[in-house]
């Protein structure tokens, strides 16, 4: 608003002559609890606005107006030009949250702030703090959140451990060269941000055995060579995210005790091998070891079932083919190395293996499988998928075949249940003559085209339009917004899998795909930045949207309204809209997965309790009027549904 002083209307709002305006009355007046004056141009706040007088002395003044701000519990003055604070702030005994980010405050501001002993949340980011942090900050013994990123602070005071309730500490973008982890380990820290400091050599030099409550730590953009001294370890049982990019790390310690770890980012370091205990991390989903010195990839990675993405580009790998391989392809290749070949001199074992294979082939030939002699290349099907959304890729790809093979010498098998499997055949199109013959001879309900070279939806799918209910084009060459250039009618389609392509938008689907019965869409592992808001308008039956591992920057409540399952893990969502909480309830959102994103609230402690807890937390941040309307729509009474969790 560009205000340089506090408006007179605010200062006189409790005066008697103001009570009759705007349909207000004295009986309706309540104490002011929040003061938001952010993004203005205030350099000073007059002492008369916050009088340095106790509440008892003010009450004794018969002609006084009292302190209109005496009941404040929240003050937000970020984005101003403040160079000092009024002394009278120390009289605000109920104040719990103070945001002074992006001002011009120096170290002397703690003369006032240190007396606000009721504070639980203090933000002083991007100010002019410098040198050692003022020891008086330790007076704030109720403090839970402390943010001083973007200053020039160099050390913490020796009495910093007096902050016995501190959970979140943000020291990023300062001048710290060393931190007292002996003190920090005794505090209930769950989040620690040390990004862009001057930390060097060993991060934790003290004799620290564990940080039992730490859930997230960011030490990126420093000059750290070791997290702990070589040969030692530190227990981090609650840690779910470690960011250590752009350091000089030579190795990571034993991570066996980091059992909750979900995301490990350590790109642009000098790490030469996977840390000890890495393969025991059952919950690990996202790993970035790109631009390091790793040469050998252990095959045990294939056993890490929950690992959804691992980046190893920029390493001097012995197997160069792994540099550009996807995570799924990498795990498939490594899985083959876990199975040792049979001994060459064990004739009996080999004979038994061959006999078993012949018997299996004989049984397969006797099974009621229909085969159509088409006019295109032969392929021996290898897909017996129960759920197309997670296609198996452990079998080796079929070798590329010569184009000189005649169409008449090939067969496309149709399996029981109407499954046409053309996966892994290096195909980029479906021959219309072949498709028309198959459609005339049998009822095809499912088509598997994953692991091929398709750049667009094949037009020949229209031959199966009336019967096709499931289609997979996963692991193909679908790019950008060009993968469905023309209208395609598949009225019976219920499930569509487009995972692991290079799609940037779902607009072609909503514009050109005519599938009113579509219920499930899997577009995981693509490059989608936003969901269209008309998904449910175009696909009224849609209930499941899997869009994990993309580049979503927001999750618009309107884009997922009406869906029952949404998986948006590992995206770039910076803020979770509280109105998403209103999508729950009767017939609404049943499963919401949003971990591994950029937003800081709700915190992992809320997310890990499941969808109901997350939606309750979000509803607690929705305006009361909208919440009441939602409750009325749910047929609830007047009982509250707000989640009281403090995060």
End-to-end CA distance of the chain: 30
Answer for the pair 599, 573: CB distance below 8 angstroms, yes or no.
yes
> Domain boundaries in the chain?
1-175, 206-339, 368-508
pLDDT tens digits along 20-45: 555 555 545 566 788 888 888 889 88
CATH topology of domain 206-339: 3.80.10
| Distance, CA of 425 to CA of 428 (rounded, Å) | 9
pLDDT the model gives residue 405: 41
pLDDT the model gives residue 345: 39
What is 194-219 written as a DSSP string? --SS--EEEEE-S---B-TT--EEE-
CB atoms < 10 A from the CB of 633, how many? 11
| Distance, CA of 180 to CA of 13 (rounded, Å) | 48
pLDDT the model gives residue 22: 55
pLDDT the model gives residue 33: 83
Q: Helices (DSSP H) in 82-195: which residue ranges?
A: 110-113, 181-184
pLDDT the model gives residue 11: 66
CATH topology match: 206-339 vs 368-508:
yes
Answer for the pair 313, 325: CB distance below 8 angstroms, yes or no.
no
* Planar angle of CA 234, 203, 136, nearest 5 degrees: 105
Residue 96, CB-side half-sphere exposure with 13 Å CA sphere: 9
Has domain 368-508 been given CATH number 3.80.10? yes
pLDDT the model gives residue 47: 84
Contacts of 500 (CB under 8 A, 6+ apart): 326, 328, 474, 475, 524, 525, 526
| Distance, CA of 559 to CA of 365 (rounded, Å) | 48
Helix (H) or strand (E) holding 432, with range, is helix 432-441
| Distance, CA of 24 to CA of 96 (rounded, Å) | 29
Which CATH number is 1-175 given? Answer: 3.80.10.10
| Distance, CA of 394 to CA of 253 (rounded, Å) | 31
Mean pLDDT in order along the chain per 10 residues (647 residues): 72 59 53 84 86 71 64 89 91 91 94 93 95 94 94 95 94 95 93 95 88 94 94 92 94 93 94 94 92 91 90 87 84 79 40 38 43 42 40 40 40 80 88 87 91 92 92 92 92 93 93 93 92 91 92 90 90 89 84 87 83 88 78 59 44
pLDDT the model gives residue 484: 93
């Amino acid at each position: 608003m560009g205000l340089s002083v506090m408006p007179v209307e605010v200062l006189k709002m409790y005066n008697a002559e103001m009570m009759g305006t705007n349909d207000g009355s004295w009986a309706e007046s309540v104490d002011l609890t929040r003061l938001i004056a952010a993004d203005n141009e205030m350099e000073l706040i007059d002492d008369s606005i916050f009088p340095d007088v106790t509440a008892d002395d003010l009450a004794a003044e018969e002609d006084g107006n009292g302190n209109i701000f005496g009941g404040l519990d929240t003050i937000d003055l970020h984005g101003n030009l403040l160079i000092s604070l009024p002394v009278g702030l120390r009289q605000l005994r109920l104040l719990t949250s103070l945001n002074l980010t992006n001002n011009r405050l120096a170290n002397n501001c703690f003369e006032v702030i240190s007396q606000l002993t009721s504070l639980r949340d203090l933000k002083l980011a991007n100010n002019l703090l410098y040198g050692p942090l003022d020891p008086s900050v330790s007076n704030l013994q109720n403090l839970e959140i402390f943010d001083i990123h973007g200053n020039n602070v160099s050390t913490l005071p020796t009495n910093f451990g007096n902050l016995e309730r501190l959970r979140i500490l943000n020291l990023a973008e300062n001048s710290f060269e060393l931190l007292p982890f002996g003190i920090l380990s005794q505090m209930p820290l769950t989040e620690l941000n040390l990004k862009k400091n001057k930390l060097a050599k060993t991060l934790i030099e003290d004799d620290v055995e564990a940080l039992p409550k730490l859930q997230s730590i960011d030490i990126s953009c420093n000059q750290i060579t070791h997290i702990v001294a070589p040969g030692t370890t530190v227990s981090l049982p609650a840690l779910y995210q470690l960011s250590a990019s752009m350091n000089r790390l030579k190795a990571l310690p034993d991570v066996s005790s980091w059992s909750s770890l979900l995301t490990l980012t350590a790109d642009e370091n000098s790490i030469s091998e996977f840390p000890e205990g890495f393969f025991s991390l059952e919950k690990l989903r996202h790993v970035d070891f790109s631009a390091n010195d790793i040469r050998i990839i252990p095959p045990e990675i294939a056993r890490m079932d929950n690992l959804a993405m691992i980046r190893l580009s920029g390493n001097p790998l012995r197997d160069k083919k792994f540099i550009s391989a996807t995570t799924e392809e990498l795990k498939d290749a490594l899985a083959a190395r876990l199975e040792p070949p049979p001994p060459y001199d064990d004739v009996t074992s080999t004979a038994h293996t061959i006999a078993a294979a012949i018997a299996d082939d004989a049984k397969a030939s006797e099974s009621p499988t229909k085969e159509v002699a088409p006019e295109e290349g032969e392929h021996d099907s290898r897909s017996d998928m129960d759920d197309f959304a997670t296609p198996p890729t452990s079998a080796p790809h079929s070798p590329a075949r010569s184009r000189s093979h005649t169409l008449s010498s090939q067969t496309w098998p149709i399996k029981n249940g109407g499954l046409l499997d053309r996966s892994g055949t290096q195909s980029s199109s479906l021959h219309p003559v072949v498709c028309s013959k198959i459609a005339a001879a049998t009822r095809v309900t499912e088509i598997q085209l994953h692991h091929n070279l398709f750049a667009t939806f094949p037009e020949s799918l229209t031959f199966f339009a009336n019967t096709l209910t499931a289609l997979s084009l996963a692991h193909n060459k679908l790019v950008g917004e060009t993968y469905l250039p023309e209208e395609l009618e598949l009225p019976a389609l219920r499930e569509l899998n487009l995972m692991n392509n290079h799609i940037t938008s779902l607009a072609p689907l909503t514009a050109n795909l005519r599938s009113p019965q579509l219920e499930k869409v899997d577009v995981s592992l693509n490059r989608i930045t936003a969901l269209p808001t008309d998904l449910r308008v175009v696909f009224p039956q849609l209930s499941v949207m899997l869009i994990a591992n993309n580049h979503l920057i927001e999750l618009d409540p309107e884009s997922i309204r009406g869906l029952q399952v949404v998986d948006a893990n590992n995206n770039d969502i910076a803020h979770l809209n509280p109105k998403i909480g209103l999508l729950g309830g009767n017939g609404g959102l049943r499963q919401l997965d949003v971990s591994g994103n950029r937003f800081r609230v709700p915190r992992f402690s809320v997310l890990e309790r499941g969808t109901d807890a997350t939606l309750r937390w979000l509803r607690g941040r929705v305006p009361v009027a909208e919440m009441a309307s939602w409750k009325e729509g749910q047929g609830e009474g007047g009982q509250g549904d707000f989640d009281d969790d403090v995060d």
